[in-house]
Amino acid sequence: MAIQEIKVPDIGDFTDVPIIEIHVQAGDSVQVEDPLITVESDKASMDVPAPKAGTVKEVKVKVGDSVSEGSSILLLESAAGAGVKAAAPAGEEGQKPPPAAAPSAAPSTTPSSAPPTGQIADFSRVHASPSARRIARELEVDLNRVPPTGLKGRVTQEDIQNFAKGGTPATQPAAASSSGGGEGMDLLPWPKVDFSKFGPVETKPLSRIKKISGANLHRNWVRIPHVTNHDEADITDLEAFRVQFNKENEKAGIKVSMLAFMIKAAVASLKQFPEFNASLDGDNLILKQYYHIGFAADTPNGLVVPVIRDADQKGVAEIAQEMGALAKLARDGKLKPDQMQGGCFTISSLGGIGGIYFTPIINAPEVAIMGVCRSYWKQVSPDGKQSAWRFMLPLSLSWDHRVIDGAAAARFNVHFANLLADMRRIVM
């Protein structure tokens, strides 16, 4: 038998990230890829898996410790000569997890025993899945107090949500917090149905990306008062220019999508309307002086949101090339956590698929998101006299009503559309 020191592998451009869970203790047997610890940055949670099978001899860290790449985690006793699989933060098929939007700063008011500020409760001995644990952290629920209803004493997501709503044990529903509320809603329990009695079924586990994004989307939808404005942008001239530009630069391998122009338009609009380039911090509004734009990228395992950093300092062609590189990394499951962090505003484009309008969910802690669908030809009459066929881009702007009012949202949409109608406005 050989004893090996297990260390934190490459976790991206992060140092001193806190340990939020420890999944093993001395004497435990582990298999390859079993989670040892979970660390959490400001945007993503990452499991550090076992690089080989063996028995834990000594755990060298505790919940709340900060670790970096190379930090010692534990000592593992395994058979001599056993192969070691390179450790990486666990994700679906080796992928790093997508961005988990940071929760609002103001604490929620749930029937929990949340640890005092600066402390992290130790839930390592609670029998619960990673997704259930993540929901518990987001709702600030003390897992040790949640009565389990799952098989073999497992705490389920429903157990946590019921406890957060005051259902178990019986308590008064909590008042909505200043960060959005939603925990105290008196909702009916989720229906439990044996679908197989109605016909053949197939059970397919959700990918890790969908589990993580699903919890974040649910939180964002419940806790942010969404409003969506719909509008159209006349991109007839811009589309003609884009096609001509791509034709001229075909041999150079440069291809610009409409989304790259939209990112530049988003930057200019954020500068014009700074309350859209902000985040809520309790009763304060944090106005950002940088312009990092996220875009939704479709992958086989679900949507992720890479971020174009300092988009205000880059041209459209450079943005297009960076988008292509990030989208490929996303599809290959190789995006690093820092490539999905720091976004100020997100654009979600369904242009390659179809549709007209939809309601995109805000990517907290951002306060707005732009959704766009497939462009279409439409006969319009701008002056009310003569009509002409124009190429129109549908816009769907969702915004946080705690920060933005309807008039500002309408002006933002109009400004954004005007920039796309004539990109020369950006240089003025």
Tell me the β-bridge partners of 185.
none
The span from the CA of 295 to the CA of 378, in Å, is 27
Q: Is 147 exposed, middle or buried (0-12, 13-18, 19+ CB in 10 A)?
A: exposed
pLDDT digits (tens), the chain, 428 positions: 789 999 998 776 678 888 888 989 999 999 888 889 988 765 556 778 888 899 999 999 998 899 998 999 999 998 765 544 444 443 333 344 444 433 333 333 344 444 444 445 556 567 776 667 777 777 778 888 888 887 556 788 778 877 876 654 433 333 333 344 444 556 678 888 999 999 999 998 887 778 778 888 888 999 999 999 999 999 999 999 999 999 999 998 889 999 999 999 999 999 999 999 999 998 999 999 999 999 998 888 778 899 999 999 999 999 999 999 999 998 888 888 889 999 999 999 998 788 899 999 999 999 999 999 999 999 998 777 888 999 999 999 999 999 999 999 999 999 999 999 999 988 76
Token readout for 307 is 């971020």
Whether residue 411 contacts residue 229, with contact meaning beta carbons closer than 8 Å, is answered with: no
Whether residue 97 contacts residue 339, with contact meaning beta carbons closer than 8 Å, is answered with: no
Distances from the Cα of 112 to the Cα of 116, 142, 216, 282, angstroms: 12, 5, 20, 20
SS3 labels along 168-190: CCCCCCCCCCCCCCCCCCCCCCC
Helix (H) or strand (E) holding 236: helix 236-248
Whether residue 49 contacts residue 65, with contact meaning beta carbons closer than 8 Å, is answered with: no
Whether residue 392 contacts residue 377, with contact meaning beta carbons closer than 8 Å, is answered with: yes
Query: Residue 384: its pLDDT value, please?
Result: 76
Helix (H) or strand (E) holding 408: helix 406-421
The span from the CA of 349 to the CA of 346, in Å, is 10
SS3 278: strand
Which one from 226, 292, 401, 415 is the annotated catalytic residue? 401
Query: Residue 112: its pLDDT value, please?
Result: 41
Please enumerate in sequence order all residues whose Cβ is within 8 A of that of 133, keeping only pairs 6 or more positions apart, or say none.
Answer: 21, 38, 123, 126, 143
Q: Confirm whether 401 is a catalytic residue.
A: yes
